[in-house]
């Protein structure tokens, strides 16, 4: 016991000798709590704004390229819903305090979309789908099931919204779109990826991309990974490599998955280059400005200088290669427009060429 007391006394003396020399201000606890609430509010507002920007930018790409998506085509009511429960147990109360409704309400409504044309507005609270009333709590799974069930074999969906205290019944036409789910992750990591069924963005990359055209370039790239079946091809290649891992295991050699990993990484740079190429066509057909798309990869190199160096060991082409290839793709698209050709990627595509939808000029990106 004495030994412990002595050690504690020595430790206290030592730490006191290393204490700050300045006289620090006494923090007002009530003001600190008010600031804490404000910062949580900013977190919520920033995430909602990011969702609004992501959805409104992605939707024209998903809708205007449906002919490219094969059997991955679905129907959509075109707007994005959110509620306080979306933020999870750690942030739900803060979301409520920030003014986020407990019930699902419209936060993103692309201009010219079916719902916008039908009269739906941002901030409208969804209270019923057909004859099914949306519960105030724990509605997520059931709402998703109802929307999926009621959109099947229909061209429109009866919805009831609450606006300014009054119920409003709207028959919302359903848009034909590429059926890929958008996901937004609250992460500082600068990243976007696709898994065959979803297109996933982090808030980190949303903050990096300066305008809707830059965001559209990355969305088109990730969607192309899905439409071109890159995930399935990588898994198929890895499965072939796994056969060799098993063969070596049969003779007592543990390859530690070396063949699976190597085969899975095969054609990785080619897949990325193809996603750049095809994604630019998707961007064009959605009415975005493709001319500055190459600068996205130039700016990506600022945060990752290693991408500038050419390397056969890298999973992606070098950023200079991507920049030049995209410039060539822009030239290819412009020549097709000038010559009246179908505006579709070369090799193996059948597409009804049409002029891109003209997006209304707007500064409302949700930032």
Give the model confidence (pLDDT) of 97-137 as tens digits. Answer: 999 989 999 999 999 899 999 999 999 999 999 989 998 77
Side-chain-side CA neighbours of residue 15 (13 Å): 6
Residues of the chain with pLDDT under 70: 1-17, 138, 230, 232-268, 300-319, 348-367
Instruction: Tell me what pLDDT residue 268 has.
Output: 62
Rounded CA-CA distance 290/231 in Å is: 26
Return all residues near 137 (Cβ < 8 A) that are at least 6 apart: 85, 102
pTM: 0.80
The dihedral formed by the CA atoms of 119, 124, 128 and 129, expressed in degrees to the nearest 10: 50
Return all residues near 343 (Cβ < 8 A) that are at least 6 apart: 281, 284, 285, 333, 336, 337, 351, 353
Rounded CA-CA distance 58/116 in Å is: 16
Instruction: Tell me what pLDDT residue 54 has.
Output: 97
Return all residues near 73 (Cβ < 8 A) that are at least 6 apart: 66, 176, 177, 178, 179
Instruction: Tell me what pLDDT residue 25 has.
Output: 87
DSSP state for residue 152 in the 8-state scheme = T
Of 278, 321, 270, residue with least CA distance to 300: 321
Question: Mind listing the pLDDT tens digit for each residue in 190-220?
Answer: 889 998 899 999 999 999 888 999 999 999 9
């Amino acid at each position: 016991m004495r030994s412990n007391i002595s050690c504690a006394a020595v430790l206290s003396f030592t730490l006191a000798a290393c204490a700050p020399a300045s006289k620090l201000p006494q923090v007002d606890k009530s003001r600190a709590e008010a600031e804490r609430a404000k910062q949580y509010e900013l977190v919520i507002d920033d995430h909602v704004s990011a969702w609004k920007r992501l959805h409104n930018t992605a939707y024209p790409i998903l809708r205007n390229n449906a002919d490219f998506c094969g059997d991955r085509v679905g129907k959509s009511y075109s707007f994005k819903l959110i509620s306080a429960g979306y933020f999870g147990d750690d942030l739900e109360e803060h979301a409520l305090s920030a003014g986020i409704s407990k019930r699902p309400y419209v936060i993103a409504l692309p201009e010219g979309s079916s719902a916008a044309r039908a009269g739906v507005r941002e901030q409208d609270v969804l209270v019923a789908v057909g004859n099914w009333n949306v519960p105030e709590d724990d509605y997520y799974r059931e709402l998703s099931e109802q929307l999926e069930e009621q959109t099947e074999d229909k061209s429109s969906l009866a919805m009831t919204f609450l606006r300014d205290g009054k119920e409003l019944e709207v028959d919302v036409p359903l848009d034909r779109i590429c059926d890929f789910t958008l996901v937004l992750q609250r992460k500082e990591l600068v990243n976007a990826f696709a898994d065959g069924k979803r297109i996933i963005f982090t808030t980190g990359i949303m903050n990096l991309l300066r305008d809707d055209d830059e965001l559209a370039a990355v969305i088109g790239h990730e969607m192309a990974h899905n439409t071109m079946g890159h995930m399935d091809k990588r898994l198929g290649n890895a499965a072939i490599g796994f056969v060799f891992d098993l063969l070596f295991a049969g003779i007592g050699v543990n390859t530690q998955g070396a063949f699976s990993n190597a085969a899975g990484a095969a054609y990785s740079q080619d897949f990325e280059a193809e996603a750049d190429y095809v994604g630019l066509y998707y961007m064009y057909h959605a009415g975005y400005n493709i001319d500055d798309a190459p600068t996205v990869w130039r700016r990506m190199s600022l945060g990752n200088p290693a991408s500038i160096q050419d390397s056969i060991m890298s999973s992606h082409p070098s950023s200079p290669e991507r920049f030049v290839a995209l410039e060539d793709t822009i030239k290819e698209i412009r020549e097709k427009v000038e010559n009246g050709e179908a505006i579709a990627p070369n090799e193996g595509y059948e597409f009804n060429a049409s002029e891109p939808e003209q997006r209304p000029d707007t500064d409302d990106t949700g930032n």
